[in-house]
Amino acid sequence: MTQAVNVFAAMSLVPDSVRMLTRLSGVQYLDAADVVNPASNGGREISRIQIELLAGRVSSLSDCFY
């Protein structure tokens, strides 16, 4: 059995919200399969380390531990 990550599990009482989040994240960030593959930038114009630098800086500025 596959364990959903907590951010998806937290929304799972409203399945459409999970579907929406998955699709939106795939457009704005990366598809789920690409997230765990550090060699992939999902075909973006910016490299994976540039993507992760942005992700990390935004999360840090928001004091996001998750």
Helix, strand and coil content of the chain, in percent to the nearest 5, comes to: 55, 0, 45
Residue 31 near residue 42 (C-beta atoms within 8 A): yes
Please pick, from the candidates 7, 12, 19, 22, the single residue that binds other proteins as defined by CB under 8 A: 7
Residue 7 near residue 66 (C-beta atoms within 8 A): yes
Looking at residue 34, its amino acid is D
Nearer to other proteins, 19 or 59 (CB): 59
- Check residue 14 for interaction with other proteins (CB under 8 A): no
- Shortest spacing between CB 60 and other proteins, in angstroms: 5
Binding positions for other proteins, 19-38, rule CB under 8 A = 21, 24-25, 27-29, 33, 35-38
